[in-house]
Structure 1
């Protein structure tokens, strides 16, 4: 059945994640009102409420659900349940075939209807579907070519007032507003098809301004405003291609829009208008962009537009000039320049820029700890290509000294092993980490990085000794026990028992899963020690004390505990 659906359980798992997939398994019996089409299926899934769910499995697997989690764009448990229901249906190919046949029959029937019959059908649907009526009314007013009326209609469609409670469009009303506002783009495209493309250009620009002005009064958590903006932008581009406005004037408008749209509601890319602008318009756009950037070289929008234009025509030197005018203190801008030069087959200049970025960062506060790690990776890769392994080690050592975390330790180890000098580098690195631990300079979670480094080296004996001398985080004790369960079962057992004790007082599936994992490890330690009876006694006592926790008991049963 997976083949006939075009997707598998693994596809559902990949889209939803393990947690939602596991929860979706429990909702399969809650799926009702399944309707199968050609490449889609809809249903109602009953949970805390009855949710409308639609799964699309044409070219790719996708879906929508109106539950709170689904409305945020996530592939939720209800979609998983519907997907599993689809996969379990043996009659899916037949249902899809029937859907295709129904669609074909509809097309054939509509094709032979007379004009009067089609009009009667439309009138019937308009009387039944108010949203359809509104959409057709909008298009009808635009088709009449009455520009003032079209302007009024666009303003009404983009006005959020009818959806606002207490002057603000709440989350649950934002979708309704978006469905109305999207019709503003339909007004513009109808004007274009009616031969009023030049007028449509101006109306599209006005509509974008209106949309920008209402955004602060709408909860746009689901990104509806961007959809509206994209529809208006597409209508504007369509109008420009039909009307062919003056290239210089168009270039000026595009630049002003790009610099004045900080929220990027429309997503307009001036290069999309290349066919409208032509060579003369593109030249004007570039000159205007250069002038705007020179007036404000640190402006993000100014840099972005000029960078786009320079990259589009392959003007690497202009791209570099834009970056070089506002160099980031961590060397990331130097790295961006180096990569552009690499792409232009100028590796020598690329390396010099990257090295200058490192030097600039090291000679100014806060020094090496602030260097972009990607810049260090870039330089190490370049040095490795040319056999400069000692330079790689020196750079990795410098980075480790500045940051002293597990990742920089690993990278130093890899470089030093390649260069054949790891024993000496390791001794010095561990000495630094030990000094940090003694001075209580720990990692992100308050644990000695020394313990992580020794564990990563699989130097278990040294890790145990350091943990006892300097202390360790529970996560590190757990890793120590896991790594040495077979060789130090008594020590590992002591750790597991201590970690399990507070979990006996906690409730919730996550705590139960952690406790079950520890119990399995405790049992393994007892097997290594030959004290299985002691484990049986411990487990019996634990189950007796926690027998009211049904989910825990079920989990223990599943694992044979």
Structure 2
């Protein structure tokens, strides 16, 4: 079996001479190819002995692996600068290479000072300045000497930012980089006070409390991380606070599982919804269901989604009618679940949904509506002649109501509808 050198296996997958990457489809195809190259490099870093059998690649030395990773990253940065990466595939490849690079550098024992210089200059690329390299990830490769050199650059940057007009501090690339390096060096130093100062900033948004919690978790100060995540949750009722609450929940599950029941109640009362309700029931069991239902009465859609999710389909059906449910997605889910109880009633709900979709003339709606009606006929066949008659009558009414829509009628005919 002939084996290929690592560079020959990886770099052709990363590089391209194409001038058509501004086309979204071309960029996506090349991004997928780049990810294949990243996968080979990942194995070269983690388990190089597996390369011959997995990819027919010669086992490289650590220095060879680093050189290929370094060249691949440089090429990927040049590529993303001229590509339409709306789908983010090339960006994922770049981030994969960024994650591999420090590991490969440490294994290759690269000269710390030279690595520190390259790492710093990486952030001042004229074409691409939206990726950052993490001092924490590079610390094993940089060692004390490399980190010291990096800190010198940070202080030089601090003086540069201080000389800028204050109005530019919130927008300049230099100010952003200074904040990034201050935060990551605080984590590297495991300095709690510095972490809070650099991540919390002025404490005006909930996301900064969550960022503080994540940085503290990174240095394994989980007690403090839980406290700061809780503060993020309590900041307000916005989406950032909700994200903080979800992170608080995650930390509790990993480090204080005995607190989860109380936390689940807290989350439900702050953000009443089917997801927080399901989380509570999963945590404490069905004994909480009666109170959950009471809390969700003011939110019919959430109540219906929750009850369907826990198998109380009849209760969900009754609640939907009692509370005047007006959410189409909830009605669709409920009707699908209710087919096993009363297919005729469920079909009526589905038919109402199809009719609503067709009120406005739109060719994009016709084929989905036709497919849905065909599916409803199949359900009706199993339910009996009366259900079939209901569906066929509804189809006939739609054909008559919209007889001046030839595209819709053609879609119905194409789906084999009567």
CA separation in 1, counterparts of 2:192 and 2:230?
Answer: 22
Tell whether the 8 Å contact from 1:464 to 1:480 is kept in structure 2 after alignment: yes
Counterpart in 2 of 1:499? 353
Tell whether the 8 Å contact from 2:272 to 2:296 is kept in structure 1 after alignment: yes
Tell whether the 8 Å contact from 1:526 to 1:535 is kept in structure 2 after alignment: no
Count of residue correspondences: 316
CA separation in 1, counterparts of 2:127 and 2:344?
Answer: 60
User: 1:274-312: per-residue Cα shift (whole Å, max 9, x none)?
Assistant: 9x999656423324526866998995311322455677x
Tell whether the 8 Å contact from 2:179 to 2:198 is kept in structure 1 after alignment: no
CA separation in 1, counterparts of 2:237 and 2:392?
Answer: 58
CA deviation after TM superposition for structure 1 residue 392, in Å: 0.6
Unaligned runs of 5+ in 1: 1-38, 40-57, 77-217, 231-246, 343-348, 438-446
User: 1:451-489: per-residue Cα shift (whole Å, max 9, x none)?
Assistant: 221222221111111111212212222211110112112
**In the alignment, does 2:299 pair up with 1:428?**
no
Of 364, 379, 388 in structure 1, the residue corresponding to residue 252 of structure 2 is 379
CA separation in 2, counterparts of 1:403 and 1:453?
Answer: 14
Of 14, 17, 24 in structure 2, the residue corresponding to residue 70 of structure 1 is 24
- SS of 2:154's equivalent in the other structure is helix
- SS of 1:265's equivalent in the other structure is coil
After superposing the two structures, state which structure 1 stretch, 541-550 or 329-338, moved more: 541-550
Counterpart in 2 of 1:400? 268
Cα 1:67/1:520, change in 2 over 3 Å:
farther
Tell whether the 8 Å contact from 2:381 to 2:387 is kept in structure 1 after alignment: yes
Tell whether the 8 Å contact from 1:481 to 1:495 is kept in structure 2 after alignment: yes
Counterpart in 2 of 1:460? 313
Of 334, 358, 375 in structure 2, the residue corresponding to residue 480 of structure 1 is 334
- SS of 1:538's equivalent in the other structure is helix
Tell whether the 8 Å contact from 1:376 to 1:395 is kept in structure 2 after alignment: yes
Higher relative contact order (CA 8 A, sep 6+): 2
CA separation in 2, counterparts of 1:426 and 1:63?
Answer: 61
Of 154, 177, 196 in structure 2, the residue corresponding to residue 301 of structure 1 is 177
CA RMSD of superposed structures (Å): 5.2
**In the alignment, does 2:336 pair up with 1:336?**
no
Tell whether the 8 Å contact from 2:316 to 2:334 is kept in structure 1 after alignment: yes
Cα 1:303/1:382, change in 2 over 3 Å:
same
After superposing the two structures, state which structure 1 stretch, 407-416 or 354-363, moved more: 354-363
CA separation in 2, counterparts of 1:471 and 1:515?
Answer: 28
After superposing the two structures, state which structure 1 stretch, 373-382 or 476-485, moved more: 373-382
CA separation in 2, counterparts of 1:365 and 1:426?
Answer: 26
Counterpart in 2 of 1:345? none
CA deviation after TM superposition for structure 1 residue 339, in Å: 2.8
User: 1:5-27: per-residue Cα shift (whole Å, max 9, x none)?
Assistant: xxxxxxxxxxxxxxxxxxxxxxx
Cα 1:539/1:289, change in 2 over 3 Å:
same
CA separation in 2, counterparts of 1:406 and 1:428?
Answer: 13
Counterpart in 2 of 1:104? none
Cα 1:485/1:265, change in 2 over 3 Å:
same
CA deviation after TM superposition for structure 1 residue 260, in Å: 6.8
CA separation in 1, counterparts of 2:125 and 2:132?
Answer: 9
Q: Which has the higher strand share?
A: 1
Counterpart in 1 of 2:129? 265
- SS of 1:451's equivalent in the other structure is helix
CA separation in 2, counterparts of 1:270 and 1:466?
Answer: 52
Tell whether the 8 Å contact from 1:334 to 1:356 is kept in structure 2 after alignment: no
Q: TM-score, normalised by structure 2?
A: 0.57
CA separation in 2, counterparts of 1:553 and 1:363?
Answer: 53
Tell whether the 8 Å contact from 2:192 to 2:216 is kept in structure 1 after alignment: no
CA separation in 2, counterparts of 1:284 and 1:556?
Answer: 69
Tell whether the 8 Å contact from 1:497 to 1:522 is kept in structure 2 after alignment: no
- SS of 2:27's equivalent in the other structure is coil
Q: Which has the higher helix share?
A: 2
CA deviation after TM superposition for structure 1 residue 551, in Å: 5.1
CA separation in 1, counterparts of 2:138 and 2:314?
Answer: 67
CA deviation after TM superposition for structure 1 residue 69, in Å: 5.2
Q: TM-score, normalised by structure 1?
A: 0.45
User: 1:320-369: per-residue Cα shift (whole Å, max 9, x none)?
Assistant: 72454332634312332243123xxxxxx32x112321453466555965
Counterpart in 1 of 2:101? none
User: 1:28-87: per-residue Cα shift (whole Å, max 9, x none)?
Assistant: xxxxxxxxxxx9xxxxxxxxxxxxxxxxxx879x997959753672349xxxxxxxxxxx
Counterpart in 2 of 1:354? 225
Counting only pairs closer than 5 Å after superposition, residues 102-117 of structure 1 correspond to structure 2 as none
CA separation in 2, counterparts of 1:467 and 1:491?
Answer: 13
Cα 1:261/1:517, change in 2 over 3 Å:
same
CA separation in 2, counterparts of 1:483 and 1:222?
Answer: 40
Counting only pairs closer than 5 Å after superposition, residues 147-546 of structure 1 correspond to structure 2 as 264-265=128-129, 280=145, 282-289=147-154, 299-308=175-184, 315-318=188-191, 321-327=194-200, 329-330=206-207, 331-342=209-220, 349-350=221-222, 352-361=223-232, 364-365=235-236, 369=242, 371-384=244-257, 388=258, 391-417=259-285, 422-423=286-287, 425-434=288-297, 436-437=298-299, 448-472=301-325, 473-504=327-358, 506-525=361-380, 527-531=382-386, 534=389, 537-538=392-393, 541=396, 545=400
Counting only pairs closer than 5 Å after superposition, residues 90-101 of structure 1 correspond to structure 2 as none
User: 1:398-441: per-residue Cα shift (whole Å, max 9, x none)?
Assistant: 01111112221221121112xxxx32x2221211111x23xxxx
Cα 1:528/1:279, change in 2 over 3 Å:
closer
Cα 1:408/1:266, change in 2 over 3 Å:
closer
